[in-house]
Structure formats: structure tokens, C-alpha cells
Amino acid sequence: MPGRRSGGYHSSVRALCVDLGGKRIGLAISDASGVLARPLDVIEASGPAQLARVVEAVRRLSAEEDGLGVVVVGLPRRLDGTPNEQTAAVTAFVQALGARIGQPIVLQDERLSSVEAESRLALCDRDWRSRKKKLDAASAAVILQDYLDSDGGQRAAGSWQRTEEP
């Protein structure tokens, strides 16, 4: 069973973050303890193909030994916290995704995640073309780390919950 190890010890399961964009989707994954997030992949897709590719990634990661306990989706908003032109599209994507996967989905505020990811990447990679290829996954990792850092005891207790708004 995903998320369980032999010997009677219970292992936590990982969290996946999806940073949905118009042309690319950034993916990040946590470690099984739910403490650290790392960039995982960038999916080049737009339109209906985005949903299919994310569902495929969720199913693949769920089948791995450490499993997948929750999917975190970055929710775009303006700096003042109000919805922007992308918020409705992400909300519709989350509803469609929820109908196709069994894991709970949590919306996480993604304000300034791309700016933070770009500044982190710039520290170790001076080539902007190289950074651009990694930016979406790095942004997903920033969003996921924010979620992990703010999630508190829910993660440790293993009680993942579906939420509508952060």
C-alpha cells in the first residue's frame, strides 16, 4: 500500500504541488515526511491537455512507494488578495481535477512565488535561458514549501483535508 513500509511503521506520504500556467505546468514534490519541497518537473501543455497530464502525474506518483497524500494547487491572486483574471481558470481546473483523482486538493496562495523562485535560481544560475526552463517547477516548489511551512500539525496527523480557499 502506498505510504506504508514493512515492519509496522507508518510512513507519511508526499504532497504534490501544481503551478498552473497558460503554456506550462510546474510540478514540485515534498519528501515523505512533509518537511521539504523540491522542484519535480515542467510539463509543456495547454488547454485540455493540461488536465490529462496532471492526472497522469498524480497517478504515477501515487503508485510509487511513498505514495501521494495531497495535491496542492497554486491559486493566483492580486497582491491585495482579490481574484485576478487567472483565478477562475485555476478554480475550474481544480474542480475538474478533483473529479478525476482520489487525493484531496488544497488551494495555496501563490502571490510572488515566481519572483521568489527567479531570485533563488539567479543565485546559482546566471544564464537566464537556463533559469527560464526551470522557473515553473521552482515556483511550484516555493508554493509547496509555503504550504508545508503553514500546514502545522495537520500533516503530521495525516489528516489531509480538501479546502476551497486558503
pLDDT score at 5: 35
Tell me what pLDDT residue 151 has.
Answer: 59
Q: Rounded distance, CA 166 to CA 160, Å?
A: 14
Q: What is the pLDDT of residue 113?
A: 60
- What's the chain's Rg over C-alpha atoms? 15
- Diameter of the chain by CA atoms? 50
For the chain (length 166 residues), average pLDDT per consecutive 10? 38 86 90 91 89 95 93 88 87 95 92 59 57 71 90 46 44
What pLDDT, on the 0 to 100 scale, is given for residue 22? Answer: 79
128-150 helix and 113-124 helix, angle to the nearest 10 degrees: 120
Please name the amino acid found at residue 77: R
Q: Which class is domain 6-157?
A: alpha beta
**pLDDT (0 to 100) of residue 130:** 54
pLDDT for residue 67: 92
Instruction: For the chain, give every domain's residue range.
Output: 6-157
What one-character-per-residue DSSP string does 79-130 give? TTS-B-TTHHHHHHHHHHHHTT-SS-EEEEE-TTHHHHHHHHHHHH---HHH
Query: Which H helix or E strand runs over 49?
Result: helix 48-63
Using alpha carbons, select from 134, 151, 99 the residue that is nearest to residue 26: 134
Instruction: Please give the pLDDT value at position 165.
Output: 47
pLDDT score at 78: 80
pLDDT of residue 77: 84
Q: What is the pTM of this model?
A: 0.76
